Amino acid sequence: METLKPQYIPGQAMISPGASSCSASTVEDKFSNLQNQQESENLKSEIRDLQEKIDTLKGMIIHILRIMLGIQYTITISSIVAVKSKIIFCDGYH
């Protein structure tokens, strides 16, 4: 009868080769997930900043349109006054 001896060599890792690659893969996955979360947060922050800029530009456009409308009213009133003056001037000669 033969006696079986364990195949253990002192200093050798007790983890099977497949288990070590799984743990490395898990660490890599966690690191990749962390990077994705950070990138997602950065993109969300950038979207918020851009939305604020869009809102500011919308306000500026509304302000400019109001100014343009005021200028248009002023020009229209000036034109009406000029036409009225011409009519009055022409009526004075008749």
Per run of 10 residues, the mean pLDDT along the chain (length 94 residues) is 64 54 79 95 97 97 95 91 86 67
Task: Give the three-class secondary structure for 6.
Answer: coil
pLDDT of residue 5: 66
pLDDT of residue 17: 52
Enumerate helices (H) and strands (E) in the chain, giving the number of each.
1, 0
Instruction: For residue 52, give Cα distances in angstroms to 15, 46, 48.
Output: 54, 10, 6
Q: How far apart are CA 33 and CA 45, in angstroms?
A: 18
pLDDT of residue 58: 97
pTM: 0.53
Contacts of 13 (CB under 8 A, 6+ apart): 20
pLDDT of residue 34: 94
